[in-house]
């Protein structure tokens, strides 16, 4: 069987020079020897898999180096063949491609998730250097998905889910439309086997009922276009089952309500013919309002271009029509692989390569800003969602962003410095909040200030991976000094509990600790303690390696909270502590020390992890303002809100936010977020409010969820 496959492969390589085909055959023999005796789960010889992957690349007409790497892509992972051996035999470029695709199985990770994240990061960064790495990996994944029935049900679900969440979106991002559709379809079939079977049966039944209507539309289009002087290839296609399921799911439709299960594609010679064809079709059948999209004037981020319209055909049957040139069709089918497939100088290809290069460069930027592999993978997943919104800069340049993006995403898309110094934004010449969702066609202008900096609150609503990673990178850089100072205080507290202190620790002990923990320096260890990545108590015990230092624990004293520690100390939004409240501190990974009130229900749920709880107390001289929520129920009379606001202002207090319940009768309930200096300050405010005759009920709300 493998010999037959090799023969088919060499036949499909007719676009290569004979010398290159000979090199491919040599790579096959090398791979066959290396994998000798190995079997796939299906029982087939293992060599059948790399051969199938190479055939997929040959269909895309990639160069000989990529096809050779496809034949060898598993030898480093599954056999004793080394990268140096591949480099010597087939050249360094092939060895780099194989290495980029190979997993990191020989390294040890703390968890399966960490291993997968690190593997994926390595592969993406290799792709940023050479996109053929991902093309080989996508071909590898496609063949594995086609033969997934041979593995266990649990593994099928895991691989199918990973394909749906990561590899299919990457195929879409690289413009490989047919591959994207097939990966989605196969993922759906393995994740939801019963739903797939039911829908497949329904489509087969509907096929017979609707074929006559579709054929009638096809004939009408084929007759009308030549009359308008348009040469075109017209074909009908059935929508993928996953596309039908997605539409049913998103719009809450039954199968019988999904009428457009067929689509029509019209291929013409040039762009003017596309628009002329559109006019002819709209004259033939009425278009559905709001269902027209011009991806020729404004291509998708992955370079896809077409005109899309939905027509109402005979008997009221809606049919989606795609109109594109032959060149656009090639790019839609093979995406970034068109770079090798067609040695062309067409503007479409150069534009696609430019867009792809920009995205690959953004991967490197995100990698530089991300702390670890899991965070990098999280950012990339965010960036792979296919829906886009197109907005304009003040100079008229179009930027494509993830749907749901905000002005902050736009600012970081322009430049990281613009994002970091952003203070406000204008959309269509009007000032708007930074969390405003951008819409297609918006003109966005960012207003910056020299001393402004990224805000942690932005992470709650930014949508693009670039913005999220750049904000985190900026905050981490800013946090280092604050986290080190807090880490030293926490470590001192833990050492006092063991009858020691930081000053008593010798440099040799620090050096040994740094080596054992794989940290870069003592400052890194302290910063990790401050950020909650390491527990102070455990670090203290490691430092005190001599038995005479490790005495019985004693009262360790409390960490004093001044309120000016910066981002290393966070005040929990669930209970909003203010000076005067009894408080307790919780070390939370990545956030540092989080302060809760003693009676906070959220804190009570986490009390089991005693090593992460720290005794804290307020400094008598805190000098900042703290947010606190109050609920004020008043008689619903004219001018009462102004009285309440005036009383708050007269008490030396600032109102940060106000909202009013919609259900109003005799009484109205107002929710205020105030900024106070202490519990005594809040008491003064509440005494002033109680003197207002119209105030019926007054209470402090500690839970932000219940304050609405």
* Exposed / middle / buried, residue 226 (Cβ in 10 Å: 0-12, 13-18, 19+): exposed
**Residue ranges in 384-500 assigned as alpha helix (H):** 407-414, 416-420, 465-497
Q: Would you say residue 336 has pLDDT above 70? A: no
- Separation of alpha carbons 203 and 503, rounded Å: 76
| CA triple 472-473-477, angle to 5 deg | 115
Domain CATH number, residue 686: 3.30.70.260
Contact 702, 626 (CB under 8 A): no
Residues 451 and 548 in one domain: no
- Classify residue 348: in a domain, yes or no: no
pLDDT value, residue 422 = 92
Assign 551 a pLDDT band (cuts: 50, 70, 90): very low
pLDDT value, residue 172 = 80
Q: Would you say residue 112 has pLDDT above 70? A: no
Assign 176 a pLDDT band (cuts: 50, 70, 90): confident
Q: Which of 25, 63, 77, 636 is catalytic?
A: 77
- Separation of alpha carbons 101 and 69, rounded Å: 9
Query: Which is more confidently placed, 188 or 538?
Result: 188
Residues 102 and 198 in one domain: no
Residues 455 and 515 in one domain: no
Rg (alpha carbons) of the chain, rounded to whole number: 32
Q: Would you say residue 653 has pLDDT above 60? A: yes
- Catalytic, 78? Answer yes
Domain CATH number, residue 412: 3.10.20.30
Q: Which of 8, 20, 44, 78 is catalytic?
A: 78
Give the chain's length.
708
Domain CATH number, residue 112: 1.10.3210.10
| Low-confidence winner among 96-100, 378-382, 428-432 (lowest mean pLDDT) | 378-382
Residues 364 and 484 in one domain: no
What mean pLDDT value characterizes the chain?
A: 80
- Using one digit for the tens of pLDDT, what is the confidence trace for 240-289? 888 888 888 877 888 777 766 778 899 999 999 999 999 999 999 999 88
Q: Would you say residue 40 has pLDDT above 50? A: yes
Q: Last residue of some domain: 618, 643, 663? A: 618
Q: Last residue of some domain: 435, 452, 471? A: 471
Residues 97 and 198 in one domain: no
- Separation of alpha carbons 609 and 585, rounded Å: 12
**Residue ranges in 415-560 assigned as alpha helix (H):** 416-420, 465-497, 507-516, 522-530, 536-543
- Classify residue 708: in a domain, yes or no: no
Number of folded domains that form the chain: 5
Residues 325 and 375 in one domain: no
| Low-confidence winner among 34-43, 380-389, 654-663 (lowest mean pLDDT) | 380-389
pLDDT value, residue 406 = 93
- Catalytic, 96? Answer no
| Pairing mode of beta strands 559-561, 616-618 | parallel
pLDDT value, residue 268 = 94
Find, among 61, 140, 63, the residue nearest to 100 by Cα. 140
pLDDT value, residue 515 = 76
Residues 224 and 248 in one domain: yes
- Classify residue 706: in a domain, yes or no: no
Q: Would you say residue 331 has pLDDT above 90? A: no
Instruction: Calculate mean pLDDT across residues 500-506.
Output: 79
Query: Which is more confidently placed, 346 or 359?
Result: 359
Residue 324 forms beta bridges with which residues? Answer: 267
Residues 610 and 666 in one domain: no
Residues 608 and 512 in one domain: yes
Domain CATH number, residue 232: 3.30.460.10
Residues 610 and 647 in one domain: no
Q: Read out DSSP for 44-59?
A: SBTTHHHHHHHHHHHH
| Low-confidence winner among 109-118, 157-166, 268-277, 415-424 (lowest mean pLDDT) | 109-118
Domain that holds residue 667: 626-701
- Using one digit for the tens of pLDDT, what is the confidence trace for 394-417? 888 878 787 789 999 999 989 889
Q: Last residue of some domain: 191, 215, 241? A: 191
């Amino acid at each position: 069987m493998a010999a037959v496959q090799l023969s088919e492969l060499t036949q499909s390589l007719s676009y290569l020079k004979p010398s290159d085909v000979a090199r491919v055959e040599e790579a096959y023999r090398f791979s066959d020897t290396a994998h000798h005796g190995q079997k796939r789960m299906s029982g087939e010889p293992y060599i059948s898999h790399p051969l199938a992957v190479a055939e997929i690349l040959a269909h895309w007409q990639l160069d000989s180096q990529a096809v050779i790497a496809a034949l060898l892509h598993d030898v480093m992972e599954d056999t004793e063949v080394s990268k140096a051996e591949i480099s010597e035999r087939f050249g360094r470029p092939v060895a780099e491609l194989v290495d980029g695709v190979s997993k990191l199985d020989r390294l040890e990770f703390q968890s399966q998730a960490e291993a997968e994240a690190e593997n994926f990061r390595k592969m993406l960064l290799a792709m940023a250097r050479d996109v053929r790495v991902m093309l080989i990996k996508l071909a590898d994944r496609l063949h594995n998905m086609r033969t997934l029935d041979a593995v266990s049900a649990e593994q099928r679900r895991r691989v199918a889910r990973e394909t749906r969440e990561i590899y299919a979106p990457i195929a879409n991002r690289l413009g490989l439309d047919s591959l994207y559709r097939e990966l989605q379809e196969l993922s759906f079939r393995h994740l939801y086997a019963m739903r797939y079977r039911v829908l497949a049966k329904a489509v087969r039944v509907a096929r017979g009922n609707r074929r006559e209507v579709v054929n009638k539309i096809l004939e009408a289009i084929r007759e009308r276009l030549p009359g308008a002087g348009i040469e075109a290839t017209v074909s009908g296609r059935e929508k993928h089952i996953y596309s039908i399921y997605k539409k049913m799911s998103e719009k809450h439709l039954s199968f019988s309500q999904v009428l457009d299960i067929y689509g029509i594609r019209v291929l013409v010679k040039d762009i003017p013919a596309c628009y002329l064809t559109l006019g002819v079709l709209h004259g033939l059948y009425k278009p559905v309002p709001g269902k027209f999209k011009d991806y020729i004037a404004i291509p998708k981020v992955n370079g896809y271009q077409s005109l899309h319209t939905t027509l109402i055909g005979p008997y009221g049957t809606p049919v989606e029509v795609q109109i594109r040139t032959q060149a656009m069709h090639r790019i839609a089918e093979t995406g970034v692989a068109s770079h090798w497939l067609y040695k062309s100088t067409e503007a479409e290809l150069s534009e696609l390569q430019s867009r792809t290069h920009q995205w690959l460069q953004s991967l490197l930027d995100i990698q530089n800003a991300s702390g670890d592999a899991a965070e990098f993978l999280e950012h990339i997943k965010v960036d792979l969602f296919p829906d886009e919104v197109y907005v304009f800069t003040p100079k008229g340049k179009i930027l494509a962003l993830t749907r749901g993006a905000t002005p902050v995403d736009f600012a970081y898309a322009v430049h990281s410095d613009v994002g970091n110094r952003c203070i406000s934004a204008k959309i269509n010449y009007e000032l708007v909040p930074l969390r405003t969702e951008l819409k297609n066609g918006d003109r966005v202008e960012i207003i910056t200030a020299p001393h402004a900096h990224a805000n942690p609150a932005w992470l709650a609503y930014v949508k693009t991976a670039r913005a999220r990673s750049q904000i985190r990178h900026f905050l981490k850089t800013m946090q280092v000094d604050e986290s080190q100072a807090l880490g030293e205080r926490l470590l001192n507290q833990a050492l006092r509990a063991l009858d020691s202190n930081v000053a008593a620790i010798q440099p040799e002990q620090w050096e040994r600790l740094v080596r054992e923990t794989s940290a870069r320096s003592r400052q890194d260890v302290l910063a990790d303690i401050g950020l909650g990545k390491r527990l102070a108590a455990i670090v203290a015990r490691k430092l005190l390696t001599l038995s005479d230092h490790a005495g019985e624990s004693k009262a360790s004293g409390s960490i004093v909270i001044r309120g000016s520690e910066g981002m290393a100390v966070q005040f929990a939004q669930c209970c909003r502590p203010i000076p005067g409240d009894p408080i307790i501190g919780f070390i939370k990974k990545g956030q540092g020390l989080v302060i809760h009130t003693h009676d906070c229900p959220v804190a009570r749920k986490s009390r089991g992890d005693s090593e992460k709880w720290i005794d804290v107390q307020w400094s008598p001289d805190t000098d900042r303002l703290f947010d606190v929520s109050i609920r004020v129920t008043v008689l619903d009379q004219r001018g009462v809100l102004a009285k309440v606001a005036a009383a708050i202002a007269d008490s030396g207090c600032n109102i940060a936010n106000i909202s009013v319940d919609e259900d109003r009768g005799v009484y109205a309930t107002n929710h205020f977020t105030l900024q106070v200096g202490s519990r005594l300050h809040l008491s003064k405010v509440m005494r002033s409010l109680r003197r207002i005759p119209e105030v019926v009920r007054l209470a402090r709300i500690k839970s932000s969820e219940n304050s609405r």
